[in-house]
Chains A and B, each alone.
Chain A
Amino acid sequence: MKKIKISLKNLFLFLIIFICLVLLIFQNVSISGRATESFTDSNVSITKYIAISFSENLSEGIDFGDVNVLPATSLNATHNYDGLINGTSLYISVSSDSNTPVDFCIKANTDLTSIDLDVIGLANETYQNSSTTNLTLPTTSPEIPLTTSYIKSGDNIAVGSENYYRFWLDVPVAQPSGDYNNTVSFKGVQVGYSC
């Protein structure tokens, strides 16, 4: 009689284990019906590519030369007018090995700053851009001040063409002497996208 009682207890435990294992399987395995439809894949892959480059002079930086008389207003960058037909030689090219037009964005990392931490405010460093260049293009007004966030400069620059820039600097009368530097960054983005 005792033997049967123990067996029933064990049987009950076996049953619990079995039920739990079945539930565990049902919980974690999804059962699907057999599909009878036939299908074929349709696929398209769209690739975009953009390559840009500085002109040689722009890659060397934006230089405003020596300033001997203060205040200096709308001081020209040294390469503002030394291109063909008195155009600028500061430009960015969109390679012909690109397949989408480009918008350009521009920013500066900080004010023009000397090693002694004197600054020429970023509002004093200005630019203008154009998709062609000559004596009057890019125009001298309005001069757009640089900012520390990217803003759109060149719009919809076509594949195989250039975006030309001129830069100017205002130096206030009381500006301490010294060398002032910062970094101006250009970013090419797919046309229509924000900076």
Chain B
Amino acid sequence: MNLKKLFIVFSMFVLVFPLVSAGVGISWNKETSLVPENTKTCLTYKVYNPWPDDSYVEIELSEELLPIVSYVESETKFVPKNTPSSEAIPVEFCFKTPRIYEQDCLLFDKLICKQDCLEDMQIYSGEVIVLESNDYKSSGGSGGSATAISVSAPLKVKVQCVAHKRNYSLIYIVVVLIAGILLAINLLNKKRKKNKK
């Protein structure tokens, strides 16, 4: 009878407090980011660990997002045990969107350009992945499989095309410079002639 009670108490304990190792947690409040092309932007995610063991985590981006990412804070982050979601630790990563939409340029494909934005919006869909960085290796005669755990948050990066008219600033600047130089030469000549007289 006592053994039965003990078994019930043990069962309840295991059901309420499962025997778990350290884990990973991610908290996010942004799943879509609208970023103009050729612009650097940073996003912040938070990691936490509500489990009773300390853990080390790394943040990664899925392959689909790699073409637009310039920098990810990649060092292993220590997440203390019993860190609830309300006290999650921020992890920032930055990316620079590529120049993907067609421009109509008059000079060298780069200068005096206009952009009509007739193409469809380019969207990169992927994930921000938090991995527990501890590698567990199994042993045994016939070997076996080590295990790895991760958790992810979806992220959609919409690359915005910003339409603009042709920018003639360069031409104006060049004309101002030429006119300025000619004016300076004229004034210098005038001054020189005055001095000769």
Interface residues of chain A, those whose CB is within 8 Å of chain B, are 6, 9-10, 13-14, 16-17, 20-21, 23-24, 27-28, 45-67, 77-78, 84, 89, 91-93, 95-99, 102, 108, 112, 114, 125, 162, 167, 169, 171, 178-190, 193
6 A-B pairs with CB atoms under 8 Å apart are A17-B183, A27-B172, A51-B50, A53-B24, A92-B149, A187-B129
Q: What is the chain A residue whose CB lies nearest that of B84? A: A97
Interface of A is mostly: mixed
B148 touches A (CB below 8 Å): yes
Interface residues of chain B, those whose CB is within 8 Å of chain A, are 11, 14-15, 18-29, 46, 48-51, 84-85, 88, 127, 129, 135-154, 167-169, 172-173, 175-176, 179-180, 182-183, 186-187, 190
- The answer to whether A49 touches B26 (Cβ under 8 A) is yes
Contact residues in B for A181 (Cβ distance below 8 Å): 137-138, 143-146
Contact residues in A for B136 (Cβ distance below 8 Å): 59-61
- Given A9-B186, A63-B138, A63-B144, A97–B152 Cβ distance below 8 Å? no
A-B pair count, CB < 8 Å, reads: 217
Q: What is the chain B residue whose CB lies nearest that of A51? A: B25
Q: How far, in whole Å, are A178 and B144 apart by their CA atoms in the complex?
A: 11
Q: How far, in whole Å, are A193 and B20 apart by their CA atoms in the complex?
A: 25
Q: Which listed residue, A64, A178, A187, touches B150 by the CB 8 Å rule?
A: A187
Q: Which listed residue, B129, B139, B149, B169, touches A54 by the CB 8 Å rule?
A: B149
- The answer to whether A48 touches B28 (Cβ under 8 A) is yes
